[in-house]
Amino acid sequence: MHEMSLAESVLQIIEDTARKQGYRRVRTVWLEIGQLACVEQESLRFCFDAVTRGSIADQARLEIVETAGQGRCAKCTLEMPVVALYEACPNCGSYEIRVTGGDEMRVKELEVE
């Protein structure tokens, strides 16, 4: 359940930004989560609801923008979508696939008042 730590980190980022920007209420939080990121989105939602209770983000809507996994084969340089880390290159069969995208976890944007 490291999603609890991640949810706490999200809240910390929101509160840090609130101190700088002077907003008092967060209505919506947009996260960008890659398909290959080590996070289970439903757990993250559950934990987000739990950790934001009583905070400036209480009852805030959590919107998750999912980004697709992307990789590049180190052998034949093919660019490909990556769904699972154990897949072989569809062109040459190599497992040497570097993940080039879709492993990010970011707080993108907030709707505040």
Q: Which of 76, 79, 92, 96 binds another protein (CB under 8 A)?
A: 96
Exactly one of 40, 56, 80, 101 binds another protein (CB under 8 A); that residue is: 40
Give the type of residue at 55. S
- Site pattern 6..35 for another protein (x: CB under 8 A): x--xx-xx---x---x-x---xx--x----
Collapse the DSSP code of 50 into the 3-class scheme (helix H, G, I; strand E, B; otherwise coil) and give the result. helix
- Distance of alpha carbon 83 from alpha carbon 74, whole angstroms: 17
Judge whether 27 and 61 are in contact, CB under 8 Å: yes
How far apart, in whole angstroms, are the C-alpha atoms of residue 45 and residue 83? 22
Q: Which of 91, 93, 95, 100 binds another protein (CB under 8 A)?
A: 95
Interface positions with another protein (CB under 8 A): 1-2, 5-6, 9-10, 12-13, 17, 21, 23, 27-28, 31, 38-43, 45-46, 49, 59-66, 74, 84-86, 88, 95-96, 104-113
